[in-house]
Structure 1
Amino acid sequence: MSEALQILKKYWKHDSFRSLQNEIIDSVLSGQDTFALMPTGGGKSVCFQIPAMMNEGICLVVSPLVALMKDQVANLQKRNIKAIALTGGIKSDEMIDLLDNCQFGNYKFLYLSPERLQSDWILDRIKNLPINLITIDEAHCVSQWGHDFRPAYLKISNLKTHFPTVPFLALTATATPKVKEDIITELGLEEPQLFEKSFARKNIAYMVFEVEDKLFRIEQILKKNPQSSIIYVRNRKSCIEISSQLQSLGFKATYYHGGLTSREKDKNMQLWMEDKAQVIVATNAFGMGIDKADVKTVIHIQLPENLENYYQEAGRSGRNGEKAFAVLLTNPSDIKQAENQFIHILPDKKFLNEMYNKLCNFFQIAYGEGINERFSFNLNHFCLKYKFPVLKTYNAMQFLDRQGIITLSQEFSEKILLQFIIPSKELIRYMSLNRNDEEIILAILRTYAGIYETQTAFNLELIAKKSKHTEAQVLAVLQKLKEKDIVDYQSKNNDASLIFNEIREDERTISRVSKYLENQNQLKKDQLKSVLHYISEEKVCKSKLILSYFGEKTNTDCGICSYCITKKNKKTDSSSLSKEIISLLKIADLNSREIENKTNKKSDDIIFVLQQLLENERILIKSNNKYTLKL
């Protein structure tokens, strides 16, 4: 038995390697620079963790994701493997202690972000460590054409000058051919060994359905496949609403989003992991490090931002190798909503320049000054003061953060967490007896739909503005409600912190980085176009469309996606179904679900015939989504 396999068995309890893992490990052990493209769930971490364990010294892992670093360090420590992560919020003296541990404490893994490598003193310390392997995780971040470009990744190649004999291992789960070329060039990989695992997931049936009533279709899917499922939604409010609607339909459902406390996240996750809940309704905050093998169905009820994210989220189904379903439910209004969510909130150069100037003014930074100054920062307060849209401002600040102009801690949870803990009828009674508090309470209820179900992050300034009261008046009402046990109310002091990394130069600062902004904005527009092509293309296998996007060609249809099933199934006699539908519409206007129930035909066949009748102008669709005969 090879030493690598012994380590796999001892620490990871697996009897064999997955596809390409052994070959990648051999390449790294031979001292070769290595590039590995392994789709989500392919087991990338083992490819650097095992060779690092086999050699003397420490493995340096560069990663952009704090959550992933913490998760991997925790998993290694559980296996009694010594690992450290230099994440944000660690003070300099603590950092020195951690680096001392790496140098003298026989540690095997040091995780850090690429931005940490830009600090001269940290780089000087790292140069003195016995590095045996340099791993670049999420390597697509080095490419301006990757879906998450980070300029700090461009500096990683400088490590080559300090560690000329140490192999580089670049890992990514999603890279188009252009991005792959960028990774090899920008990281300075020397004659790298290339390993690319196919993006094909032969057991996943990719389904796209245009439906009027998404909840009804979800109900049908979950009844047909009662195994473990994930439903991805766009925001926290939808998480709570869809989960509640599914529970009212008799499904065991829970939810997960970034605004939950750690305790709530763990509780809801365990319900799902232990199959006490069939469904978990989640935002894209859910998925990091999740490896539940028996997920049967992943349903998206809104359009994803790009096919990279969609492929990763859909790929959380069927990891046990059994047939699974990745379902995307759409309707015509989704396109407009996606453009509003993903495109219209992109900052252009003019907005970026204005926001940056106002940010400097906000903290009274003079021209030519400000470098290394740190401030406490409240995003909502800043946006209200200058009447900036919050999402566009946040995206602009994230861009400046990635460019290294500012450093922004990701602590945008509000100062206040609030939940109503009495029945709604009791609250109505309270308001009728306390008219002075009514406007503030109603403003809260109208703004936060899920405030009965969970502790909700609360924007004090927004509620004050909506209720036409001062912040002090709102706080007084909250305190009163807490004392009467009407709400659970917690006040936290966790504004973000903001550091200016450069002197203020206004237009010159922004002009220097604006070309990156234009590239990234164009990339996001192109990515959404690819998503729209994926949902609208009705004459190509869905699996083929995904493979083609990632530069993988195949002449074979998958045989199980929505296109292939439609092609294989003999169409219902559309002529007779058409006559049946017209007969029904002579009696009354009906929506598609009512027609489906009355004809007892498949939904896809109904929609196909309805589209034919619309195109032939024999029927019309009314504003209430009911079909009627054209007079």
Structure 2
Amino acid sequence: MREEALKNLQKYWGYTHFRPVQESIVRSVLEGHDTFGLMPTGGGKSICFQIPALTFDGICLVISPLIALMKDQVTQLQQRDIKAIALTGGIKSDDLIQLLDNCQFGNYKFLYLSPERLEQDWVLERIKALPISLIAIDEAHCVSQWGNDFRPSYLKIKNLKTFFPEIPFIALTASATPKVQEDIIGLLGLNEPKVFKQSFARENLGYHILKAEDKLYKIQQILKKNPQPSIIYVRNRKSCHDYASKLKEYGFHVTFYHGGLPLKEKEANMNSWMKEENPIMIATNAFGMGIDKPNVKTVIHVNLPESLESYYQEAGRAGRDGSKAFAILIHSPQDVLRAENQFLDVLPDVLFLKQVYVKLCNYFQIAFGEGINEEFSFSLNRFCVKYQFPVLKTFNALQFLDRQGIIGLSNEVSEKVQIRFLLESKEVIRYISLHPEEEPIITAILRAYPGIFDLQTNINTAFIAKKANVTEAKVLTLLEKLGQIQLLEYFSQQNESKITFLEVREDDRTINRVAKYLEKQNKVKKQQLESVIHYVSDEQHCKSKLLLQYFGEQIAEDCGKCSYCLQSNKSRNPEQGLQQRIQNLLLEKDLTSREIVATLSFDEKEVLNTLKQMLENHLVSINTKNQFTLQK
């Protein structure tokens, strides 16, 4: 079987050998053992179940909580001519039946679904009839209440052992503390599993904590020194646009990515970064799924992350090609308070969760005892305005309801444009003759949609823009104008989300059932933020060591590459003394404090303190240009 596994690896992925931990995991699964794999981001987790599944007869059942991840993996398998299918949310029952028929009779190798699907009895009955050869649980930390994104539906995966007692289970995760690892094995009911852990150590990655009040200036310094591809993680969508705009002004080639962008713009921005037309990506944490760019030199965090798990994953997108790379977190004294406001103050309690759920049901006129499988377009902002709810806290409440399987929340942005001409065709032609600058757009619409005088018609504004050789924004602006002068009826609706009700409405009973999970989740998130604050503020230990200890690894040696290690090395080498370095610089010319900080690879605070001491000792003075100059 090992030879066949290697053939499949080469045939479908083009690799001639497995990575060390991959090979051990694949061998364990091929031998029929329950297997647990802890592999950091970028370690190639999916191959650990995909290769055995291709080697076995039958179909691999893959349980994953993330729709985007399922779609990404299914697409990649299909591109390799491997038959795979995903039962994502929002699929109607008739379509589900057809998809499951395809699995049973269509020689499919992979069936992806969310854990919530297993709670549908008829779906479970159909799965029992499939020739299942392997069951893979991805993002397995979701089974633990101490892990990120706990989902109660994961607890029911254990029941599959009853129906498939001879089928091997493989549980995989990229981030799990020792407590979470213990939970995964116990709560999934893994039978004497083979446990494999890949070290979280990244030999080529230096973790740096930099203190700076002017973060934009610090980012410019870093990017000038390291012009290779980079990712800059920011707090929100507004910061995305702000940093992108400011860095462009300074001559950097920048693009941006966040969850609110239309799909086409996301893809265009991603492609421009991948091709290095714009090698700097400014992004929220929405950027990450399926990224495979090995030569990222620098990952910069402008704000404190919510957990060391998410920080490790995002920082780990640097240096995947094995080259020297940097993970830099820039912080200022105000950041701890901001992080508490951002992550803790917006955590919903049980009372608020109940209010949001009840108002959501009322908003869509869901009667008590009804609503299951009903789907609606949803604008978070309009909902919050109507009930005067804080937006972030409400979004967190909805996300929690989504993870508990009470609702399905889809954040795909779409814009629906409908128009119908109100005047006869000859009057429209007369209007065009009076406004020749608008002729290309109107003519393109008339040619593409001949029935547009009779019926309200959905139109593809991107297609019209292409035909008229103008921007899509120009098309939308003209349509709005023509609607205002009543040349046509114009209807535009942007849907930020879709809401699907997955249970009947029961108000108190619904929320009380999940209340304990919400309280545990809030406790975990507070502890996670405390760990981040400790990591940032600790100036006595190697940063790589601190991260590894968090994930349960103990190492004797410091990494020698992080901000702590580099600073320690400097203090042990008197010939590299900071004061002497400053004096050498000022022998050449007078400099401002900012110019001195930019030139030296020392911590900004330390440079400023040394300059202050040199002033007090009359070694330097400040001239009329606010520059430091050596005392004669």
Separation in structure 2 between the aligned mates of residue 504 and residue 600 of structure 1, nearest angstrom:
60
SS in 2 for 1:2: helix
* TM-score (norm. length: structure 1): 0.81
**Paired residue total:** 555
Name the counterpart of 1:597: 595
Whole-angstrom distance in 1 between the partners of 2:613 and 2:158: 58
Give the aligned CA root-mean-square deviation in angstroms: 3.3
Residue matched to 1:537: 538
Cα 1:72/1:476, change in 2 over 3 Å? closer
For residues 224 and 262 of structure 1, what CA distance do their matches in structure 2 show?
33
Taking the TM superposition and a 5 Å limit, the aligned residue runs for 1:440-459 are none
1:60 corresponds in structure 2 to 61
**1:174-205: CA deviations, max 9, x gaps?**
00011111111111100000000000001000
Pairwise CA distance, 1:144: 0.6
Q: Is 1:308–2:306 an aligned residue pair?
A: no
What residue number does 2:428 align with? Answer: none
When residues 413 and 535 of structure 1 are mapped into structure 2, their CA distance, relative to the original with a 3 A threshold, is farther
Q: Report what 1:228 is aligned to.
A: 229
What TM-score do the two structures reach when normalised by structure 2?
0.81
Paired residues of 2:539 and 2:564 also in contact (CA < 8 A):
yes
Cα distance in 2 for partners of 1:493, 1:600 equals 45
Shift of 1:614: 8.6
TM-fit CA distance, 1:512: 2.5
Q: 1:247–1:253: 8 Å Cα contact kept in structure 2?
A: yes
Matches within 5 A, 1:206-605: 206-365=207-366, 367=368, 370=371, 374-411=375-412, 479-480=480-481, 491-492=492-493, 494=495, 496-569=497-570, 570=573, 573=577, 594-597=592-595, 602=600, 604=602
Instruction: Please give the alpha-carbon distance, in whole angstroms, between the structure 1 residues aligned to 2:228 and 2:597.
Output: 29
* Cα deviation code 1:570-612 (max 9, x no counterpart): 366567799999xxxxx9xxxxx94142688626355115457
Question: 1:75-114 maps to which residues of 2 (within 5 A)?
Answer: 75-114=76-115
Structure 2 equivalent of residue 608 of structure 1? 606
CA distance in 2, matches of 1:96, 1:154: 25
C-alpha change, 1:381 and 1:534, in structure 2 (3 Å) is same
Residue 46 of structure 2: SS of its match in structure 1?
A: helix
Aligned CA distance change for structure 1 residues 250 and 17 (closer, same or farther; 3 Å): same
Partner of 1:281, secondary structure, is strand
Aligned-residue offset at 1:252: 1.8
- SS of aligned partner of 2:323: coil
**Aligned-residue offset at 1:496:** 4.1
- Supply the AA of the counterpart residue of 1:300: H
Deviations 1:193-241 (A, max 9, x none): 0000000001000011001221222122122122111111122222222
Q: Which runs of 5+ in 2 are unaligned?
A: 419-470, 618-625
Quote how far apart the aligned CAs of 1:351 are. 1.2
- Residue type at the aligned position of 1:302: N
Q: Which amino acid aligns with 1:117?
A: L
Structure 2 CA distance for aligned equivalents of residues 359 and 208 of structure 1: 42
Q: Aligned partners of 1:412 and 1:351: how far apart in 2?
A: 26
Give the drift of 1:497: 4.2
Q: For 2:600, give the aligned amino acid.
A: K
Tell me how far apart the structure 2 counterparts of residues 490 and 254 of structure 1 sit (CA, whole Å): 31
* Aligned amino acid, residue 92 of structure 1: S
8 A Cα contact 2:149 2:403, kept in partner: no
Mapped partners of 1:478, 1:607: distance in 2: 55
Cα deviation for residue 324 of structure 1 reads: 0.7
Q: CA deviation at 1:531?
A: 0.9
Q: Distance in 2 between matches of 1:482 and 1:207?
A: 55
Q: Distance in 1 between matches of 2:472 and 2:331?
A: 31
Structure 2 CA distance for aligned equivalents of residues 108 and 477 of structure 1: 49
Unaligned runs of 5+ in 1: 418-453, 457-474, 582-586, 588-592, 620-625
Question: What is the rounded CA distance, in whole Å, between the counterparts of 1:72 and 1:316 in structure 2?
Answer: 18
8 Å CA contact 1:83–1:107 kept in 2: the answer is yes
CA drift at 1:264: 2.0
Matched residues in 2 for 1:606 and 1:163: separation? 60
CA contact (8 A) 1:176 1:549 kept: yes
- Report what 2:159 is aligned to: 158
Deviation of 1:516 (Å): 0.8
Task: Report the counterpart of residue 190 of structure 2 in structure 1.
Answer: 189
- The CA distance in 1 between the partners of 2:323 and 2:336, in whole Å, is 32
Tell me the SS of whatever aligns to 2:16. coil
Q: Is the 8 A contact 2:262 2:414 kept in 1?
A: no
Query: Paired residue for 1:467?
Result: none
Residues 261 and 413 in structure 2, CA contact (< 8 A), matched pair in contact too: no
Q: Residues 490 and 275 from structure 1, CA distance in 2 versus in 1: closer, same or farther, beyond 3 angstroms? A: farther
